[in-house]
Amino acid sequence: MKTYDIVIIGGGPAGLAAAVSARENGIQDILILERDKELGGILNQCIHNGFGLHTFKEELTGPEYAGRFIKQVMDLGIEYKLHTMVMDISSDKIVTAMNREEGLFEIQAGAVILAMGCRERSRGALNIPGYRPAGIYSAGTAQRLVNMEGYMPGREVVILGSGDIGLIMARRMTLEGAKVKVVAELMPYSGGLKRNIVQCLNDYDIPLKLSHTVVDIKGKERVEGITLAEVDGKGKPIPGTEEEYTCDTLLLSCGLIPENEISRGMGVDMNPVTSGPKVNESLETNIEGVFACGNVLHVHDLVDFVSEEAKTAGRNAAEYVKNLQADTDDRDKHSREEAAEIVLNPVEGVRYTVPSTINPVHMDENLTVRFRVGGVYKNCYVSVYFDEERVIHKKRPVVAPGEMEQIKLTKEQLMKYPGLKTITVKIEEA
Partner 1 sequence: MYDVIIIGSGVSGSAAARELSRYKAKVCVLEKEEDVCCGTSKANSGIVHAGYDAKEGSLMAKLNVRGNAMMEQLSKELDFPFQRVGSLVICLREEDMDKLQALYDRGVANGVPGLQILNREEVLEMEPNIVDNVYAALYAPSAGIVCPFGLNIAMAENACENGVEFKFDTKVQRLGKKDDIWEIHTNQGVFKTKYVVNAAGVYADKFHNMVSEKKIHITPRRGDYCLLDKTAGAHVSKTIFALPNEFGKGILVTPTAHGNLLLGPTAIDIEEKEGTNTTREGLDQVLTKAGQNVKDIPMRQVITSFAGLRAHEEGHEFIIEEVENAKGFIDCAGIESPGLTSSPAIGEMVAGILKEKLHLEEKENFIATRKGILDPNTLTKEERVTLIKEKPAYGNIICRCEMITEGEIIDAIHRPLGAKSLDGVKRRTRAGMGRCQAGFCSPRTMEILARELDIPMSEITKSGGKSQIITGTNKDQL
Radius of gyration of the chain (CA): 23
- Residue 366: name the closest of 409, 420, 422, 303 by CA: 409
The window from 16-24, 134-142, 356-364, 406-414 that contacts partner 1 (CB under 8 A) reads: 134-142
Count residues near partner 1 (CB under 8 A).
50
Based on the shown chain and the rule CB under 8 A, indicate whether residue 150 belongs to the binding site for partner 1: yes
* 153 forms part of the interface with partner 1 (CB under 8 A): yes
Stretch that binds partner 1, among 148-156, 340-348, 352-360, 392-400 (CB under 8 A): 148-156
Phi and psi at residue 134, in whole multiples of 5°?
-70, 155
Binding residues for partner 1 restricted to 64-103, rule: CB under 8 A? 83, 85, 87, 98-103
2 lies in the site for partner 1, by CB under 8 A: no
* Contacting range for partner 1; rule: CB under 8 A; set: 7-15, 214-222, 362-370, 388-396: 214-222
CB 216 within 8 A of CB 123: no
Could you give the CA distance from residue 115 to residue 31 in angstroms, rounded to a whole number?
13
CB of 203 to partner 1, least distance (A): 18
- Least distance to partner 1, CB of residue 35, Å: 7
The least CB distance from residue 80 to partner 1, in Å, is 17
Distance of alpha carbon 24 from alpha carbon 46, whole angstroms: 28
Instruction: Using the minimum distance from each CB to partner 1, give the nearer residue, 96 or 323.
Output: 96
Cβ(304)–Cβ(404) under 8 Å? Answer: no
Taking CB under 8 A as the binding criterion, the range among 7-15, 151-159, 161-169, 180-188 that sits at the site for partner 1 is: 151-159
Site map (CB under 8 A) of partner 1, residues 164-203, x = contact: ------------xx--------------------------
Of 80, 74, 49, nearest to 64 (Cα)?
Answer: 49
| Sole window of 23-31, 217-225, 309-317, 385-393 interacting with partner 1 (rule: CB under 8 A) | 217-225
Instruction: For partner 1, give the closer residue by CB, 141 or 359.
Output: 141
Residue 57 sits in the site that holds partner 1 (CB under 8 A): no
Element (H, E) at 324: helix 303-325
Rounded to whole angstroms, what are the CA distances from 222 to 124, 156, 164, 266? 17, 12, 26, 41
Is residue 216 a contact point for partner 1 (CB under 8 A)?
yes
Tell me the HSE value of 226 on the side-chain side, using a 13 A CA sphere: 29
Could you tell me the smallest distance in angstroms from the CB atom of residue 359 to partner 1? Answer: 31
Nearest distance from residue 238's CB to partner 1, in Å?
Answer: 12
**Site map (CB under 8 A) of partner 1, residues 11-40, x = contact:** ------------------------x-----
Q: Are 156 and 178 in contact (CB under 8 A)?
A: yes
Q: Any contact of residue 151 with partner 1 (CB under 8 A)?
A: yes
**Using CB under 8 A, which of the segments 15-23, 126-134, 199-207, 388-396 binds partner 1?**
126-134
- Report the alpha-carbon distance of residue 114 to residue 289 in Å, rounded: 11
Beta strands 94-99; 276-277: pairing state: unpaired
388-415: b (≥16 Cβ within 10 Å) or e: eeeebeeeeeebbbbbbbebebebeebe
Q: DSSP of 66-122, one letter per residue?
A: HHHHHHHHHHTT-EEESS-EEEEE-TT-EEEEEETTTEEEEEEEEEEEE---EEEPP
The residue within the footprint of partner 1, chosen from 21, 55, 141, 356 (CB under 8 A), is 141
Give the 3-state secondary structure of 175-216.
HCCCEEEEEEECCCCCCCCHHHHHHHHHHHCCCEEECEEEEE
Q: In what order do the strands lie in the sheet with 350-354?
A: 350-354, 366-373, 405-410
**Which residues, numbered 369-408, are part of the site for partner 1 (CB under 8 A)?**
none
Nearer residue to partner 1 within complex by CB, 77 or 124: 124
**Residue among 131 and 245 whose Cβ is closer to partner 1:** 131
Residues 6+ apart with CB under 8 A from 406: 305, 368, 369, 370, 371
Residue 330 sits in the site that holds partner 1 (CB under 8 A): no
Cis status of the peptide bond prior to 355, with omega within 30 of 0: yes
Which residue lies nearer to partner 1 by CB, 4 or 137? 137
Q: How far is the CB of 58 from partner 1 (least distance, A)?
A: 27
Based on the shown chain and the rule CB under 8 A, indicate whether residue 221 belongs to the binding site for partner 1: yes
Residues that bind partner 1 (CB under 8 A): 35, 83, 85, 87, 98-104, 119-120, 122-125, 127, 129-134, 137-138, 140-141, 144-146, 149-155, 176-177, 215-218, 220-222, 237, 248-249
